[in-house]
Amino acid sequence: MIISGKELSAKLKAEMAEQVATFPAKYGRVPHLTVVLVGDDPASVSYVTGKAKASEVVGIRNTTIRRPADISEEELLGLIRDLNADDTVDGILVQLPLPGHISEPKVIEAISRDKDVDGFHPLNVAALWQKQPCILPCTPKGIIRMLKTAGVEIRGKRAVVIGRSNIVGLPVAKLLLDENATVTVAHSKTADLPSVTRQADILVVAIGRPRFVTADMVSEGAAVIDVGVNRDPVTGKLCGDVDFAAVEPKASVITPVPGGVGPMTICCLMENTIECFLKKMER
């Protein structure tokens, strides 16, 4: 079975739209997400456009602020300070990656924790690892949602995550652990990776290499979640980290690229924006 993140996210966004439609009467306004895009990397432009489109569908106010790639770190931090202080802004997202002269950790830390819709702020990350209330990072949250919706039992299962980034690998491993899976985090330096991945009931791949996971790496009946967004070196088309055509017949469920994890990430960003808004309104 192919898990369509596109369909699931459309359903969830429609439900959020109904909820958001009640907000003007209750709170006098709708949630407001501000997205900051530095430079004009085509992939980042496309992600930011997707976030603006989803906001429109859900009825969230979206402001996209574009700045040139040569903006100074100081100026970007100043912009974030202004957005933190702006009471009409509920969520702040700075699209990553940033140009090399700007420190990403500094920028992430500058965003007010209460407006950190990405869930990247160190205080949010710490809260996640300490099982305290926090904003869940969008991609890991979307992955768990997809598994649950597809009826995949997580409890007691063996999960293997390939990739250990702060954005996906580490937090998704933590969320799977919290769902009572037994989790192995593998990576590009893992010895005999196929013997590790073949143990997986649930395989999450976030390594950023086109068609990295081949059929021999997947056990019959595994649930396969492909977080990769790559360009096929031959065709130039979008492709995942999993050789979909080869792995799909073995998997019990699998996510496609495009139309899998990506739309769920944006959907969870909408959820997080509403969550930040409601927390503020109910304070």
Q: Which residues are annotated as a binding site for NADP(+)?
A: 163-165, 229
Please give the annotated binding residues, written as ranges.
Answer: 163-165, 229
Residue 25 has, within 13 A of its CA and on its CB side, a CA count of 5
At residue 252, the 3 state secondary structure works out as coil
By the rule CB under 6 A, 274 interacts with ligand GUN: no
DSSP characters over 38-57? ES--HHHHHHHHHHHHHHHH
Give me the least distance between CB of 235 and ligand GUN, in Å please: 23
By the rule CB under 6 A, 93 interacts with ligand GUN: yes
Give me the least distance between CB of 95 and ligand GUN, in Å please: 5
How far is the C-alpha of 35 from the C-alpha of 47, rounded, in Å? 10
Residue 41 has, within 13 A of its CA and on its CB side, a CA count of 14
Task: Pick the closest to residue 39 from 85, 97, 88 (CA basis).
Answer: 97
Q: Which is nearer to ligand GUN, 94 or 253 (CB)?
A: 94
Q: Which is nearer to ligand GUN, 118 or 243 (CB)?
A: 118
Which residues belong to the active site? Answer: 51, 95, 118
Give me the least distance between CB of 231 and ligand GUN, in Å please: 15
Q: Which is nearer to ligand GUN, 96 or 177 (CB)?
A: 96
- Enumerate residues 128-157 that contact ligand GUN by CB under 6 A: 138-139
How many residues of this chain interact with ligand GUN, rule: CB under 6 A? 9
Give me the least distance between CB of 250 and ligand GUN, in Å please: 28
Which phi and psi (to 5°) does residue 50 adopt? -60, -40
DSSP characters over 182-197? EEEEE-TT-TTHHHHH
Q: Please select the residue that binds ligand GUN; options are 52, 57, 96, 177, rule is CB under 6 A.
A: 96
Task: Give strand ranges (E) for 140-221.
Answer: 158-162, 182-186, 202-205
Q: Which is nearer to ligand GUN, 57 or 96 (CB)?
A: 96
Using CB under 6 A, list all residues that contact ligand GUN: 93-96, 118, 138-139, 167, 265
